């Protein structure tokens, strides 16, 4: 039961402890407080925690160094990183060292609670996400084909777009999630032994996602179960086809992504896609 979960909050600001406790109190978690990385390690030495919520910038040991130590002393504990000073480098470090998620301060109660619930209900492995290139403008990784990893990565990639207007950031992240979900579910068959290759490129005028899945690819002529194949006089025809085929409800991903993208390119085989969004100058 969620009420039995034990959480350690690590932040040098007492007001943040009060805020986080108030946001999470309805869930009846067991919550402990530490005001430095060193104090957090003392707590971790004496008790098992399901989740650690840690700020980055603290006197002494910072949150990223603490993340590395948590992986050593309690590898089964899940970690969420928080900060008021997000940089691409801190996001990449968090991904590389198996943090579950990342929150930029200030955040809403809904964002916190949703991320905590997902973190506590998801088992992650250190190699679920393997970072191959960690340059802020060029991030490449291999991702195991687990459905929940798409939501986890969407959280991180939303932070990469933190300088954009909320509506634009939300649409770009929704497109990213759909593309990654399609690659994991259809290309990788949600098989954790399979991997999807993902590259994020940020230029001064654009955001680019390149995704390659291990599947056999597809052609648009054979996507009768997707909304992108519907005619204008039958906008939901694909839903009936999905029902007959026993496929989960949905099928709007490609159509939605095409609407959000400035350019959406697929390889001839159909197992590689490039999403391009041009940014205002």
- For the stretch 175-189, pLDDT in tens is 999 999 989 998 999
Cis status, amide bond into 106, omega within 30 of 0:
yes
If phi > 0 it is left, if psi is from -120 to 50 it is alpha, else beta; for residue 113 that is alpha
Decide: pTM greater than 0.95.
no
The per-residue pLDDT for 27 is: 84
DSSP, residue by residue, 77-138: SEEEEEESS--HHHHHHHHHTT-SEEEESS--HHHHHHHHHHHHT----TTSEEEEEEETTE
3-state secondary structure 173-231: HHHHHHHHHHHHHHHCCCCCCCEEEEEEEECCCEEEEEEECCCCCCCHHHCCCCHHHCC
**Confidence (pLDDT) at 227:** 45
How do residues 74-121 score in pLDDT, each as one tens digit? 999 999 999 999 999 999 999 999 999 999 999 999 999 999 999 999
Q: Give me the domains of the chain, ranges plus CATH numbers.
A: 1-125 (3.40.50.2300), 127-281 (3.30.565.10)
For residue range 124-169, what is the model confidence (pLDDT) as tens digits? 998 999 999 999 899 999 999 999 999 999 999 999 998 899 999 9
Report the b/e string of 90-126 with b at 16+ CB within 10 A.
Answer: bbbbbbbbbbbbbbbeeeeeebbeebbebbbebebee
d(CA 1, CA 136): 39
**Is residue 29 helix, strand or coil?**
coil
DSSP H/E element including 275 = strand 272-278
């Amino acid at each position: 039961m969620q009420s039995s979960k034990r959480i350690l909050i690590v932040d040098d600001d007492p007001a943040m402890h009060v805020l986080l406790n108030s946001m999470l109190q309805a869930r009846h978690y067991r919550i402990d407080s530490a005001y430095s990385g060193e104090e957090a390690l003392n707590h971790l030495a004496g008790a098992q925690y399901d989740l650690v919520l840690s700020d980055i910038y603290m006197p002494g040991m910072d949150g990223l160094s603490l993340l590395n130590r948590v992986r050593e002393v309690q590898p089964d504990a899940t970690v969420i990183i928080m900060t008021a000073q997000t940089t691409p480098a801190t996001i990449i470090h968090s991904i590389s060292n198996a943090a579950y998620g990342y929150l930029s301060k200030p955040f809403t109660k809904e964002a916190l609670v949703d991320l905590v619930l997902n973190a506590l209900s998801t088992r992650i492995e250190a190699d679920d996400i393997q970072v191959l290139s960690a340059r802020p403008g060029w991030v490449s990784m291999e991702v195991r084909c687990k459905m929940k990893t798409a939501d986890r990565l969407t959280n991180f990639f939303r932070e990469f777009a933190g300088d954009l207007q909320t509506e634009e950031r939300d649409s770009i992240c929704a497109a990213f999630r759909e593309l990654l979900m399609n690659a994991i579910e259809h290309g990788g068959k949600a098989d954790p032994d399979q991997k999807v290759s993902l590259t994020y490129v940020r230029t001064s005028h654009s955001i680019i996602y390149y995704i390659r899945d291990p599947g056999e690819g597809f052609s648009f002529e054979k996507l009768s179960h997707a909304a992108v194949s519907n005619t204008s006089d039958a906008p939901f025809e694909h839903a009936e086809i999905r029902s007959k085929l026993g496929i989960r409800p949905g099928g709007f991903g490609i159509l939605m992504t095409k609407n959000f993208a400035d350019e959406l390119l697929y390889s001839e085989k159909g197992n590689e896609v490039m999403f391009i969004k041009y940014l205002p100058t």
